[in-house]
Amino acid sequence: MEIRMASQGFVRFGVCTPATRVADVVYNCDQIRKVVVESPDCRFFLFPELCLTAYTCGDLFFQPLLVEQARKALVELAEFTAEHRVTMVVGTPVAHRGRLFNCAAFLSGGHILGVVPKRFLPNTQEFYEERWFSSAADLNDSELLWDEKRIPFGTDLLFRAEIFPDCLIGIEICEDAWTANPPSGQLAVAGATVLLNLSASPELLGKMEYRRALVQAQSARCLAAYLFASSGPGESSTDLVFSGHSLIAENGGILAETKRFRFDSQLAVADIDIERLVNERFKNNSYGFSRQEALFRIIDFPLTDVTTERVLRTVTGTPFVPSAEDERAHRCHEIFEIQTTGLAKRLLHTGVKRAVIGVSGGLDSTLALLVAVKAFDKLGYDRAGIETITMPGFGTTQRTRGNAEQLAELLGTRLRVISIDAAVRQHFADIGHDESVHDITYENSQARERTQILMNVANQVGGLLIGTGDLSELALGWCTYNGDHMSMYAVNTGVPKTLVRYLVAWCADAEFSGDISAILQDVCDTPVSPELLPPHENGEIKQRTEDKIGPYLLHDFYLYNVVRLQYRPSKIFFLARQAFGEEFSDQQLLRSLETFYRRFFSQQFKRSCLPDGPKVGSVVLSPRGDWRMPSDASAALWLEDLKQLEGVVGEG
């Protein structure tokens, strides 16, 4: 299934460190052409500062022959862009009215569409650009006149892709980015979603990490993509060595970077998600408030779109779970601290030293119990103040009940075992329900009976009822209204199901040991189930949640892309195909995505009256802050977008 990238909000960019010879314009120009010709899947290339001449020419910049040769090469490269349907931004010296400027030239469609001069010139021991170049602050003209053609000239230029107007490009040059108030900030608030930096950054100890951090930070601050192309080791090594460290960042994350210290040309390519950047700006009022009244000239350019089956960027199937083990452990520690601190604060505020929690032996209630135990430890409270209640019913298996009871006792909490069988059967008799009919009434009566017990015991002991439901269940509405949906403080409300399992496993490794750790590992291996239907004859769990609603792995992927990134269904499907490869068929992805949208819209009423609970990540569905959605909103628009995909998948 191929797509046009711009139709899904992506644009492909390349940052290049070309092979270079100092003052050899013909060679340098040939190397630039070679990079483009050998990269047919990329249509936009950013090259380093003064790449036509090399940055380290020194007093050779005073030679008119060098500057004139660079101008002729620039015209030739502009013609080359038409032949190969590409866009290039290259660094070159430009002579104008008796001054020399360090510039970036924007080439596309056979033309030099604009020239941007450098604003801030370094004047240090390593660099003394003021010896050769003038600052853009010295400009008096807004145009260059070359071969009877008027070319926009200045720092007030923005370049807009004709096929994708949200792809608006701003340019700064090297030192500009290292100042206290970089021009890229002004370009971003003027609307630029992609910021380009043509650089000649020498390599020193620690410089690589600093450079990477600077690029990441500027892309995050500007809610933009930031492309940094740097000169390589072909530059003069008289006093400095240049490594050719070029990077592509998007909203604080590095998407691609070149290898350093290579004499051959290096190219890093990534697909920038322009749509995501625009969506981030929609939500960020600080970005809107930072806008200033400034006049920028906007120049349209003919961006060539790319057709692809896969985007050149990492699409993880578990967006809530870091792939690196050390980062995952750090994330689990942070989340656990947020959960325990949130509960501890609520206990302090209410002045109670008792808590009530229903445990089933499943993942969610186990995590909630661990949070409660550590919150009590944090406050110096006796763990015996935690009233742990297991309530076996028609579907409870010996495995889950045994794990719940053993865990409660080993953790030093006070365990109660209260069977709900008799109470639920009496309720069936009261409302006239046939126990042999295993419908929604049969299931929800058990869930609500358990909540009634928990609430009343909380009143009985003067304690706080701790909720166990997680973020994924809330997204799908997979909870019983006024049953497990309700509590006095819900510690898992910001934790998706895919992350709950990792948190429990992390607790088994990092927070507990011995028999407790072994039980926690078994809980992680237990299938997700509400255990509301009778088990198989062999005692194994019969009711498996994911058999009914689909894999939580997929639903959490959809949840992140719908709520955090605001993507349309067709784009989510395209990314899901890349993330899950052969693991799921196109039909499985479509069916589960439709299930997600139908349930997400129809179950909003449950999220509209959630109990308090801590936010732990960028996605949360609390009606008091992060997700404010009417309960009667229609899903028709999103389902129709999905319907359009059915024909495409069928044809494939």
- What count of other Cβ atoms lies within 10 Å of the Cβ of residue 418? 15
Percent of the chain with pLDDT over 90: 86
Amino acid making up residue 453 = I
Shortest CA distance to 231 belongs to which of 11, 57, 81? Answer: 57
Range of 5-9, 173-177, 273-277, 279-283 with top mean pLDDT = 273-277
Angle made by CA atoms 234, 230, 313, in degrees to the nearest 5: 125
Phi/psi of residue 498, each to 5°?
Answer: -65, -25
Shortest CA distance to 188 belongs to which of 277, 315, 308, 314? Answer: 277
> CA–CA distance from 96 to each of 129, 142, 198 (Å)?
17, 11, 20
Shortest CA distance to 410 belongs to which of 337, 474, 478, 359? Answer: 359
First-residue to last-residue Cα distance in the chain: 7
d(CA 119, CA 627): 43
Phi/psi of residue 272, each to 5°?
Answer: -85, 135
d(CA 343, CA 345): 5
* Average pLDDT of the chain to the nearest whole number: 94
In terms of Cβ atoms closer than 10 Å to its own Cβ (0-12, 13-18, 19+), residue 316 is middle
Residue 459 CA, chain-centre distance (Å), reads 43
User: Of the ranges 103-112, 139-148, 185-194, 553-562, which one carries the lowest mean pLDDT score?
Assistant: 139-148
- What count of other Cβ atoms lies within 10 Å of the Cβ of residue 401? 18
d(CA 247, CA 187): 19
> CA–CA distance from 126 to each of 129, 132, 135, 213, 469 (Å)?
10, 14, 18, 22, 59
pLDDT of amino acid 288: 61
pLDDT (average), residues 505-522: 96
> CA–CA distance from 262 to each of 23, 35, 169, 269, 533 (Å)?
19, 14, 29, 17, 64
Residue 465 has pLDDT above 90, yes or no: yes
Residue 68 has pLDDT above 80, yes or no: yes
Residue 523 has pLDDT above 60, yes or no: yes
Residue 141 has pLDDT above 70, yes or no: yes
pLDDT (average), residues 420-440: 96
d(CA 1, CA 648): 8
| Residue 473: both structure tokens together | 């269940």
- Could you identify the residue written with the tokens 């039980």? 519
pLDDT (average), residues 99-123: 96
Shortest CA distance to 570 belongs to which of 633, 637, 632, 620? Answer: 637
In terms of Cβ atoms closer than 10 Å to its own Cβ (0-12, 13-18, 19+), residue 611 is middle
What single-letter DSSP state applies at residue 137? Answer: G
> CA–CA distance from 628 to each of 118, 265, 482, 566, 610 (Å)?
45, 50, 20, 14, 12
Q: What is the pLDDT of residues 384-424, one digit of tens each?
A: 999 999 999 998 899 999 999 999 999 999 999 999 999 99
Contact 506, 368 (CB under 8 A): no
In terms of Cβ atoms closer than 10 Å to its own Cβ (0-12, 13-18, 19+), residue 349 is exposed
pLDDT (average), residues 592-617: 96
pLDDT (average), residues 462-475: 97
Rounded to 10 deg, the angle between the 497-506 and 325-350 helix axes is 90
Q: Are strands 157-161 and 149-152 parallel, antiparallel or unpaired?
A: unpaired
pLDDT of amino acid 646: 81
What single-letter DSSP state applies at residue 537? Answer: T
pLDDT (average), residues 91-119: 97
Q: What is the pLDDT of residues 527-548, one digit of tens each?
A: 887 777 887 777 777 778 888 8
User: Of the ranges 127-131, 205-209, 445-449, 516-520, which one carries the lowest mean pLDDT score?
Assistant: 127-131
Residue 268 CA, chain-centre distance (Å), reads 20
d(CA 258, CA 543): 51
pLDDT of amino acid 38: 97
pLDDT of amino acid 256: 97
pLDDT of amino acid 289: 58
pLDDT of amino acid 333: 96
Contact 298, 158 (CB under 8 A): yes
Q: Reduce the secondary structure of 64-75 to three states and give it as a string.
A: HHHHHHHHHHHH
Amino acid making up residue 435 = E
Shortest CA distance to 245 belongs to which of 263, 254, 232, 226? Answer: 232
Residue 18 has pLDDT above 50, yes or no: yes
Please give the model's pTM, rounded to 2 decimal places: 0.92
pLDDT of amino acid 303: 95
Catalytic residues: 49, 118, 174
- What are the chain's domains? 8-307 (3.60.110.10), 325-651 (3.40.50.620)
Percent of the chain with pLDDT over 70: 98
pLDDT of amino acid 652: 47
Please name every residue paired with 250 in a beta bridge, in sequence order, or none if there are none. Answer: 225, 253
Residue 355 has pLDDT above 50, yes or no: yes
SS3 label, residue 79:
helix
| Residue 269: both structure tokens together | 């390519």
pLDDT of amino acid 196: 98
pLDDT of amino acid 550: 92
Residue 455 has pLDDT above 80, yes or no: yes
Residue 128 has pLDDT above 90, yes or no: no
Residue 292 has pLDDT above 70, yes or no: no
CA dihedral 610, 614, 618, 619 (to 10 degrees): -20
Angle made by CA atoms 449, 447, 541, in degrees to the nearest 5: 125
- What count of other Cβ atoms lies within 10 Å of the Cβ of residue 436? 6
